[in-house]
Structure 1
Amino acid sequence: MGDDANEVFQEYRNLLFAVAYRMLGTAADAEDTVQDSWLRWSGADRSGVADPRAYLVRITTNVALDRLRSAQAQRETYVGPWLPEPMLTSPDVAEDVELAESVSMAMLVVLETLSPLERAAFVLKEVFGFPFAEIAEALGRSEASVRQLSTRARKHVEARRPRFEADPRERLKATERFLEATMGGDINRLMEILAPDVALWTDGGGKVRAALRTIHGADKVARWLAAVSRQSYAGVEVRDMRMRTVRLNGEPALIIDGPAGPITTLSVDIDDHGRVGAIHLVANPDKLKAITEGHRLPL
């Protein structure tokens, strides 16, 4: 029975991690959630389990909810803006526009503004397409209550994360232009690419130098980026930095490496006019472990 339990769990492991990551926003918390789910699954009486997939998602969702409630209290005392932990994704994820959108940094930032139950309902329904009856069972709520949660969450997300109709190839080109301008510290080129109301979030977690508040406006953001591109960072001199473009969270992004590994990531959100509307810079070393280890986001 033990081998059967492990075989079934491994079949759905990627799905469970994908659910947990969207619920919690960090690879470390998602991995811990999956491990806790395994302990509960392996120790449970599975003789009456007709649908292992639904059962495992229910376990994972509830473990993630407990972690999320605890995490939200901790994040209130976090130094500076809190951003999700970036993860490498394969090119085929980017080809699925909806899948890529569901793990984009911009989307995960919006999900942070939902209540834990709203976030669970949104992830399970809008991302993974679970029926309301299964979500209700997972959350221990009535189906009517879950429908309300899902509707409220969807409206909240749509208000803060409108769908853009720009051609994905054009968005890719705009992102690449931005990354090139940033690497060159070219203020004039940056000003041409940035939306007037662009916002820059920098997450250093109090462990490395970062802006303690979100920076707004094209002029301030361009000058900040240009200045940073010419300075040592996290103890690494500019001459010792290497920059590479990768796929993070389904989108093209920039990783800046030092001799010992990644020191920051930079990803952007392109608006419907092909301009950069939001920039997410993650430099907290605790949030670069998944990238350092080459861990890729499944699903």
Structure 2
Amino acid sequence: MHTESLDPAKALERAASAFIELRPRLFGIAYRMLGSAAEAEDILQEVWLRWQNTDRATIENPSAFLATITTRLSINVAQSAHARRESYIGPWLPEPVDTSFDPALGAERGEALELALLLLLERLTPTERAAYVLREAFVYPYAQIAEILQLSQVNARQLVSRARKRLGAERREPIDKTEHRRLMKVFVAAAQTGDVAALEDLFAADVVSTSDGNGMRGAARFPLLGGDRVARFVAAYAPRFWSGADLTWVEVNGRAGVIVPRPNSAPTLLTIEGSPQGIHHVMWIVSPAKLDAFEQSRFRGRQQI
């Protein structure tokens, strides 16, 4: 890279090539840190600007440099995200992404990608979240995590260990993608017919239904708790919500989901969190901004074919 000063055009082309190659990983880090594809895209715009304005001849490892900038910017944004979400109207859910064409979203493994786990990650400090994401999803060595977070290796290990323990205490026993899709299909069938008894049989004892609409009409402003309440809520909407709907099955954060069109209104994106005990969380995405972002992620995926 020492010839960059001699040929700025080629230097910029090389910089762009390196950035594009690493972009899926950088997006994956920022998205897992923030639970928002829109915020992750904003982070990447800033990373690209900094990369252009950096003396790249001094950078021996572009991948490490870009990952460091992405992580530190994401920590800064995450520190202010909580306050912004307090003004959100109704429950907040992570912004869903289509993973049909990139099941791990740039990571070496798909850890910290499911909506339910992204919600749990919100309970960690930004630095804990960064350490966990870098280690569990991207398998960074502790030495590099320590360098990125400007900590000792001992502290980096402690952060990851603490995050694992906190998440492990609250995380449901996972089911595989095949079982999740089966459970999702059975739920949709019961919801379409308004079968309260069948719905209750599907639900775990602590089931909750969350509608993320940011004030949209028809979106519940508070989570609903308990099998009986959630079943009756879902059944009550059966006649007008599902009638004649041409459902589109999609992959949402590595799991099955369905887009339900609604006459004279924005569609709804529906998915669930399941375990061997049944459905623990029914998640309804009604927010137009999040639905638009999901459609954009589907479009980007199709462009990669």
Fold match (TM-score > 0.5): yes
Cα distance in structure 1, aligned partners of 2:135 and 2:272: 26
Cα distance in structure 1, aligned partners of 2:91 and 2:149: 29
Question: Which of the numbers 246, 257, 262 marks the counterpart of 1:253?
Answer: 257
Q: Quick check: 1:90–1:296 contact (8 Å CA) kept in 2?
A: no
For structure 1, list consecutive stretches of 5 or more residues without a partner in the other structure.
Answer: 233-237
CA deviation profile, 1:156-187 (whole Å, cap 9, x unmatched): 111111443x5543333222111221233222
CA change 1:259–1:7 in 2 (3 A) is farther
Q: Which structure: larger Rg? A: 2
CA deviation profile, 1:131-174 (whole Å, cap 9, x unmatched): 1111121112222222221111111111111443x554333322
Question: Which of the numbers 105, 116, 120 marks the counterpart of 1:106?
Answer: 116
Aligned to 1:64: 74
Within 5 A, what are the aligned runs for 1:1-299? 1-90=11-100, 93=103, 99-164=109-174, 166=175, 168-231=177-240, 241-258=245-262, 263-273=267-277, 275-293=278-296, 294-295=298-299
Percent identity, please.
39
Three-state SS of the structure 1 residue aligned to 2:247 is strand
Distance apart, 1:230 and its partner CA: 3.0
The one-letter code sitting in structure 1 at the alignment partner of 2:123 is T
Q: Number of paired residues?
A: 288
The one-letter code sitting in structure 1 at the alignment partner of 2:213 is G
Cα distance in structure 2, aligned partners of 1:92 and 1:136: 28
Distance apart, 1:243 and its partner CA: 2.2
Cα distance in structure 1, aligned partners of 2:42 and 2:271: 26
Distance apart, 1:244 and its partner CA: 2.1
Q: Quick check: 2:262–2:268 contact (8 Å CA) kept in 1?
A: no
Q: Quick check: 2:190–2:198 contact (8 Å CA) kept in 1?
A: yes
Root-mean-square deviation over aligned CA pairs: 2.3
Three-state SS of the structure 2 residue aligned to 1:242 is coil
CA deviation profile, 1:219-254 (whole Å, cap 9, x unmatched): 10011111233346xxxxx65743222111111111
Three-state SS of the structure 1 residue aligned to 2:58 is coil
For structure 2, list consecutive stretches of 5 or more residues without a partner in the other structure.
Answer: 1-10
User: Quick one: higher RCO (CA 8 Å, sep 6+), 1 or 2?
Assistant: 1
Distance apart, 1:259 and its partner CA: 6.0
